[in-house]
């Protein structure tokens, strides 16, 4: 599934191809992939909410597009210029379209936009623009790192105080946009072990984590996305974040850019996770006890029950579902 920087890169790429173009016809080849009634109108803008693209129309309607795991948006211009493709890379990028993976065809004045989706998890949904923010998918999204207030972020972490911090920041109702890649990178830049209990972070650590999350995604957007096996930009080329800027993600066995300790791959909250075991250490139980804020006595009790130097045990138990959240 593309992460937020990849979707933002797609938004920027498609913007110059479809803005001010009229939708002349919509052909639905898979009912599961299109929700609502097709509409004919002029495209006035492209926005993004988390990982969802929003195409606004001049008839007070909007199209919400989510690529999910294998979705693609492929634009063929009428003037026979180069094809523009975005999303899960496959032969569809150079294949004759429509083909057996084409789910929706949107004919514009200047070309045709194909929505392809091999596994049929993605969708296009027609909404009244005024009701967009009330859609269940969008309504549950928290603010993105650039929009999130530091105090609000800290308070959200306290609501999940017994959970590993990585699991918490992957929750789109806590903070929107962070996926596996950027969670690992933000935690590394913040020198926070992914299994650290969210409730033990100080306000300063929480604020820095929020800052690093925004920074990691800014770098990725500037470089055109991460490109890990199944993502390409709107012009068909690959983003290069993982090559240029990623410091730990998918770097297992390679030296940490700070201390040269080999990067390790572990599992946290069921996800492959990349860390530097030297730069990102779990706090000893005694330190957790001394740092626990008022009202978090349960964290202190949990820490005291773990032998000194084995604070990771409680996080491991949480990952296995044997501690309370």
Identify whether 51 is a catalytic site residue.
yes
The 8 Å CB, 24+ separation contacts for 12-15 are 12/234, 13/84, 13/86, 13/233, 13/234, 13/235, 14/46, 14/53, 14/73, 14/75, 14/84, 14/86, 14/234, 15/46
Give every CB contact of residue 168 below 8 A, 6+ residues apart in sequence: 156, 157, 160, 174, 198
| Phi, psi values for residue 230, rounded to 5° | -135, 45
* Cα–Cα distance measured from residue 78 to residue 313, given in angstroms and rounded to the nearest whole number: 61
Q: How would you classify the pairing of strands 34-35 and 123-128?
A: parallel
User: Catalytic: which of 12, 222, 271, 284?
Assistant: 271
User: Catalytic: which of 11, 51, 251, 283?
Assistant: 51
Identify whether 3 is a catalytic site residue.
yes
Question: What is the H or E stretch that residue 115 is in?
Answer: strand 111-117
For residues 174 and 143, the answer to whether their CB atoms sit within 8 Å is: no
Identify whether 130 is a catalytic site residue.
no
Identify whether 283 is a catalytic site residue.
no
Helix (H, G, I), strand (E, B) or coil at 313: helix
Structure tokens at 220: 């990725």
Active-site positions read 2-3, 51, 271
């Amino acid at each position: 599934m593309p992460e937020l920087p990849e979707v933002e890169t797609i938004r920027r790429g498609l913007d110059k191809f479809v803005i001010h173009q009229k939708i002349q016809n919509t052909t639905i080849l898979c009912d599961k992939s299109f929700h609502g009634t097709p509409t004919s109108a002029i495209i006035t803008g492209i926005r993004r909410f988390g990982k969802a693209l929003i195409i606004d129309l001049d008839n007070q309607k909007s199209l919400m597009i989510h690529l999910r795991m294998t979705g693609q948006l492929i634009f063929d211009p009428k003037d026979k210029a180069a094809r523009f493709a975005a999303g899960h890379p496959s032969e569809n990028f150079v294949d004759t379209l429509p083909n057996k993976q084409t789910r929706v065809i949107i004919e514009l004045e200047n070309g045709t936009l194909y929505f392809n989706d091999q596994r049929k998890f993605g969708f296009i949904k027609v909404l009244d623009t005024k009701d967009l923010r009330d859609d269940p998918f969008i309504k549950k999204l928290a603010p993105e790192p650039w929009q999130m207030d530091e105090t609000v972020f800290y308070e959200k972490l306290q609501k999940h105080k017994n959970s590993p911090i990585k699991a918490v920041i992957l929750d789109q109702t806590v903070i929107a946009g962070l996926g596996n890649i950027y969670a690992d990178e933000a935690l590394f830049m913040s020198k926070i072990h992914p299994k650290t209990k969210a409730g033990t972070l100080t306000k300063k650590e929480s604020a820095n984590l929020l800052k690093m999350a925004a920074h990691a995604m800014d770098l990725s957007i500037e470089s055109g996305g991460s490109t890990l096996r199944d993502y390409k930009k709107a012009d068909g080329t690959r983003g290069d974040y993982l090559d240029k800027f990623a410091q730990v993600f998918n770097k297992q066995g390679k030296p940490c850019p700070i201390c040269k300790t080999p990067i390790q791959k572990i599992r946290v909250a069921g996800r492959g996770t990349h860390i530097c075991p030297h730069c990102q250490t779990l706090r000893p139980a005694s330190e957790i006890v001394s740092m626990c804020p008022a009202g978090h006595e349960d964290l202190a009790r949990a820490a005291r029950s773990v032998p000194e130097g084995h604070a990771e045990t409680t996080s491991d138990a949480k990952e296995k579902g044997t501690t309370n959240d």
